[in-house]
């Protein structure tokens, strides 16, 4: 089973940029989308009915902001929107889909660059997500947590580490949370398969950053360690255009 995650920076925009061609060529079993920037009233048949897949959406209250979607060949057992915490759920950042062998979290994690308040919001979101996930794992559930985490973990995951150490997305407090996440029993699947590979999943639109490969790796598939034995492969599809992010993939047995 191949599970893809992609921050498309606007689902309606990406539909005009070979999005359907990408789905036909890659044929994902599950495709998780972040930053749809959609309201429910803006859903069209073109958006909902893709390749016979089941589709699910979570919307932010604010127009043109955030939002996640999942396209799945297999119909999930259940679908949940959010963590049950209004100040996070109102931004439409989480879909949780239950499958036979695991629970899939599709998450668009907050960005902390706007202000100190938003950085605090991001860190609180991280901690609430970890507590929620730990409670599920303690019940014996297996988790795949994918999406745009909005943090590069190590210097290996960012082109200019020193220049960005005071910028949200590479702050010590953010990187330490990913350390804590790993210590709590979760594994970065791309690093599990490719411990020494340097690849990025996001590039600024400024300064020809993608052309120069001045990027950050901030899009991940983490699994709870009780699911790790099922991880077969991972990839970062740097050749796929259409957004400031590229898709990332994990393959499960």
- The residues carrying an active-site annotation are 148
State the Cα–Cα distance between residues 145 and 133, nearest whole angstrom.
9
- Contacts of residue 149, defined as CB under 8 A and 6 or more positions apart, other chains included, come to 107, 109, 178, 218, 219, 220
CA separation, residue 128 to residues 75, 84, 85, 109 (Å): 27, 10, 9, 12
Tokens 């300064």, located at residue:
207
Name the token pair of 7: 């921050």
State the Cα–Cα distance between residues 203 and 220, nearest whole angstrom.
15
Cβ–Cβ < 8 Å for 158, 217: yes
């Amino acid at each position: 089973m191949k599970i893809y995650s992609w921050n498309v920076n606007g689902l309606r925009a990406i539909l005009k940029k070979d999005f359907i061609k990408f789905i036909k060529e890659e044929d994902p079993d599950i495709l998780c989308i972040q930053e749809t920037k959609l309201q429910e009233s803006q859903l069209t048949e073109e958006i909902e009915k893709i390749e016979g897949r089941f589709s699910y959406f979570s919307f932010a209250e604010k127009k043109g902001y955030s939002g996640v979607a999942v396209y799945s060949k297999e119909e999930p057992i259940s679908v949940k929107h959010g963590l049950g915490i209004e100040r996070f759920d109102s931004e439409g950042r989480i879909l949780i889909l239950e499958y036979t062998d695991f629970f899939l979290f599709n998450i668009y994690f907050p960005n902390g660059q706007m202000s100190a308040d938003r950085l605090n919001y991001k860190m609180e979101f991280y901690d609430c997500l970890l507590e929620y996930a730990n409670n599920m794992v303690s019940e014996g559930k297996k988790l795949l947590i994918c999406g745009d985490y909005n943090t590069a973990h190590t210097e290996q995951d960012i082109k200019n580490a020193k220049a960005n150490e005071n910028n949200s997305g590479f702050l010590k407090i953010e990187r330490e949370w990913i350390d804590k996440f790993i210590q709590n029993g979760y594994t970065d699947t791309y690093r599990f398969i490719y411990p020494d590979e340097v690849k990025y999943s996001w590039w600024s639109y400024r300064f020809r950053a993608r052309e120069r490969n001045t990027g950050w790796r901030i899009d991940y598939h983490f699994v709870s360690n009780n699911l790790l034995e099922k991880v077969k492969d991972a990839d970062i599809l740097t050749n796929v255009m259409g957004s400031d992010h590229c898709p990332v993939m994990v393959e499960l047995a």
